[in-house]
Amino acid sequence: MKDVRLLSAPFDPNTEIEPFARACPEAGGIATFVGKVRPGGGVEALELSHYEPLTRPGMEALADRALARWELMGLLVLHRTGPLHPGEPIVLVSAASRHRRDAIEAVDFVMDHLKAEAWFWKREKRADGWHWIEPREADHADLARWK
């Protein structure tokens, strides 16, 4: 089971995780990561832009790579676009497998790829205006673990 979605409106991770868990009744473990807009640091808003003909197929291919690499019963990948505010969920990745390690590693793999080589343009609004955000050195180092 694979569910990959781009969302332009806010979502509640709890309402997404429950149906995913029900769709994978044989799973021995479900690992989930929810990334949120960090509060503080003067950030008033975050905006994510994308080019759907590139973004959507890229996310689907990433999910397929995770499904091929680990023995998963399901993979859920949700990613927001548009304007977001501190505390709002940006991304949810959930993986179900018979054993916890496959689920945990699959979530980590997907997140590392989304952070370092994703198909999104990000900018933050602070008191002095908008600032583009690039992946950090640590994001690239995390991604290199999977090569």
Phi-psi region of 51 (alpha: psi -120 to 50; beta: other; left: phi over 0): beta
Please report the pLDDT score of residue 102 as a whole number. 98
**Three-state SS for 58?**
helix
Instruction: Give all domains of the chain, ordered by start, each with its CATH number.
Output: 2-144 (3.90.1170.40)
The structure tokens listed for 111 are: 């997140």
Number of Cα atoms under 13 Å in the Cβ half of residue 80 = 22
Between helix 52-69 and helix 100-117 the angle, nearest 10°, is: 150
| Sign of the alpha-carbon dihedral angle for 101, 102, 103, 107 | positive
Taking the C-alpha atoms of residue 24 and residue 98, their distance in angstroms, rounded to an integer, is 10
Please report the pLDDT score of residue 116 as a whole number. 86
Read off the pTM: 0.94
Please report the pLDDT score of residue 36 as a whole number. 97
Which regions of the chain are under pLDDT 70?
A: none
